[in-house]
Amino acid sequence: MALSFFRKDTKDAAPGAQDAEMEAFLKGYSIEVMPRTAEKVEDFRDILPKGTRVYIAHIETPIEEMVATAARLRCEGFDPMPHFPARIIKDKAQLQDWVARYQGEAGVTQGLILAGNPAEQLGSFDSSMQLLETGCFDGFERLHVAGHPEGNKDIDPDGSDRMVMEAARWKSAFAERTDAKMAMATQFCFEAQPVIDWVNRLKAEGINLPVHIGIAGPAKLQTLIKFAIACGVGPSLRVLQKRAMDVTKLLLPYEPTEVVAELAAYKAANPGFGIEQVHFFPLGGIKTNAQWVTDNGGASGVPANA
């Protein structure tokens, strides 16, 4: 079905039906923080629903700060999921040390295993698959891996998605032989149709990992464009570029309402569709992002202290 069909559907749908679709789609959403941004939140229970999964991004951050952030989140009633970026980990001994700290000091049972993208590889690992093969995550209840709906030029410099899809097949096969629950958390995109096509393609090719679709939260347009370019967002970047050419919208904050509504409508019409949950990148601030979910997701966004 064409993208225009979903726009028409979401636009013409009765407000109550569209609200219900959004609420169902946003239920159980996850969100990402860094230790330095977490410090600005007095109490996560004031802004997030009880039990929300909170990814902790590991970007040039001392492990002590990562573990302390995870412990705080656990104490406040949330499920911390720290990043384990392969290319910044020196060796298996360091990986074992990190896992032991997270488990012993913060009760961590979940992890996002990814390659990461530092300027240069710092140790003996260069892929998430190598980390998974170490066995260091035995006993984790949930393991997430990276997904790329618009490809990844660091992995496929020729512009194809051959290596990305090969890695996805490997991860799917790994999921079948582990006791941990696995899912694919994706890079953020700004158009629904490429995401729909990609998720359906995964299923057609026998890749059975549930998808936790990455969505950029509300933010200034300039901020989003900067992050999108840095993170290698593909063709859907044109949505922001087109918006930037409209002087009436240039200074207005971007909100993901349209793309989320289109995906929610497709999921409602196709219950077996492979998106399991939404994962937010709060590029305009976690409080702003959480408030957007509360405003658009009804009970799915109600803070724990509400």
CB–CB of 204/271 below 8 Å?
no
**Higher model confidence: residue 27 or residue 306?**
27
pTM for this predicted structure:
0.88
pLDDT score of 172 more than 50: yes
CB–CB of 250/241 below 8 Å?
no
User: CA dihedral defined by 78, 74, 61, 93, rounded to 10 degrees?
Assistant: -120
Token digits for 255?
């909100």
Q: In sequence order, which ranges of 76-113 are alpha helices (DSSP H)?
A: 92-106
* Distance of alpha carbon 67 from alpha carbon 273, whole angstroms: 35
- At 118-135, the pLDDT tens digits run 667 888 899 999 999 999
CATH code at 26-220+254-259+271-293: 3.20.20.220
Predicted pLDDT of residue 224: 77
pLDDT interval class at 254 (50, 70, 90): confident
Average pLDDT, stretch 165-180?
A: 92
* Distance of alpha carbon 97 from alpha carbon 109, whole angstroms: 15
Token digits for 59?
């970007």
Query: Where is average pLDDT lowest: 1-15, 48-62, 70-84?
Result: 1-15
- At 211-240, the pLDDT tens digits run 999 999 998 877 777 766 666 565 556 666
> Which residue type, as a one-letter code, is found at position 148?
H
CB–CB of 139/96 below 8 Å?
no
> Which residue type, as a one-letter code, is found at position 201?
R
What contacts 118, CB < 8 A, 6 or more positions away? 85, 87, 88
Predicted pLDDT of residue 245: 60
Domain ranges of the chain: 26-220+254-259+271-293
Predicted pLDDT of residue 238: 65
pLDDT score of 210 more than 80: yes
Query: Where is average pLDDT lowest: 47-51, 113-117, 125-129, 275-279?
Result: 113-117
**DSSP letters for 207-246:** ----EEEEEE-SB-HHHHHHHHHHTT--TTHHHHHHHHT-
CB–CB of 46/22 below 8 Å?
no
Residue 279: other Cβ atoms inside 10 A = 22
Residue 173: other Cβ atoms inside 10 A = 12
Q: Please, what sign has the CA dihedral across residues 226, 120, 172, 200? A: positive
Of 30, 33, 74, 24, the closest CA to residue 53 belongs to 30
Phi, psi of 59 (to 5 degrees): -125, 100
pLDDT score of 12 more than 50: no
pLDDT above 70: percentage of residues in the chain = 83
